[in-house]
Amino acid sequence: MLWNYLLMTIRSIRNQKVYAFINILGLSVGLSCCLLIMLYVSHELSYDRQNPDAKQIFRVITRVTGHGNEQDDAITQYPLAPALKADIPEVEYTVRVATNGSALLANGTKRLQEEEMLFADSAFYVLFPANFVAGDPKTALAGPNRMVLTESAAKKYFGNENPMGRTLRVDNLYDAQITGIIRDLPPNVHLRYEVMTSLETLMRLYEQQGFRVSQAWFAFTNLSTYVKLYPNTQVQTAEAKLPAFVEKNLGALLTRIGAGFILRFQPMTDVHLYPMPTELLPGGSMTYVYLFTVIAVVILLIACFNYMNLDRPLYPPCA
């Protein structure tokens, strides 16, 4: 039976070559477009899910109320992270990540503008593991003027030489020692960088300018705060303690200026597709994921509909 159907199909294709070509081409193009779109959607949905502790890691979102133009924001204050670790027992680790714009890095006479440079606390690689080729992830960012490079960045600045222990001049302001080399990051992480410098370095630069960011509760710079909760901890339990935390640390200041301050935790796996108005790095959009999914379904339906309609002339009507 199946052999007869196969012979009939081959005979029909030979007799109606143009119809067969259009039919098969239309279906192939439709399926290819649908597949490519779904690969994009799958990639967008995969961000940060390779992290083994993804379900325990959250980004702190802030909202200042009482002065109009209220909106959630991913920018936080420097004192927030240590205070959360001290006051919220469900918090196991806190990490601050900052950017200071592009930087001019120099190795002798080789000077390059670095666009993908971040600053982070020493516990960064506890929350965001990386494959270290050289150096210790526990100490690589512990202290000022310490820097971790990806393999691509190391080759860019040092060629085939061993960069460990060497220094890079940053914006002609300070020398950072290379304390770690990591494999290049996968494309589906929301914190993308080629150069990671210890946050103490940036804090010292601020303090040299007379700005004590470690005590500035109402100074918002390009810094985000992440928390890792203890295993088996419900995020709602930790979030329920945030209003009391705000009152303890900011109550008097908020009363004096007549404002309110709201904190909440955003799951790390939502950061890429649900970005805030102000971000350290550009993110994606869940709206585009929904839109392209709908487009893929429509293309697939049109391809199938056309295939069935164009398929009729290939087969003679039954007697």
Query: From CA 307, how far away is CA 290, in angstroms rounded?
Result: 26
225 Cβ partners below 8 Å, 6+ apart? 59, 60, 76, 80, 81, 84, 94, 95, 96, 97
Contact between 129 and 51 (Cβ < 8 Å): yes
What are all long-range contacts of 134-137, with beta carbons under 8 Å and residues at least 24 apart?
A: 134/164, 134/180, 134/181, 135/164, 135/179, 135/180, 135/181, 136/180, 137/180
pLDDT, tens digit, for every residue of 98-148?
Answer: 998 889 999 988 899 998 899 999 999 999 999 999 999 999 999 999 999
In this prediction, residue 211 carries a pLDDT of 83
Can you give the pTM of this predicted structure? Answer: 0.88
In this prediction, residue 250 carries a pLDDT of 87
What residues in the chain have per-residue pLDDT under 70?
A: 1-20, 67-69, 307, 309-319
In this prediction, residue 11 carries a pLDDT of 59
In this prediction, residue 18 carries a pLDDT of 62
48 Cβ partners below 8 Å, 6+ apart? 54, 188, 189, 190, 268, 269, 271, 272
In this prediction, residue 317 carries a pLDDT of 52
**80-87 vs 242-257: helix crossing angle, rounded to 10:** 140
Domain ranges in the chain are 54-270
In this prediction, residue 3 carries a pLDDT of 59
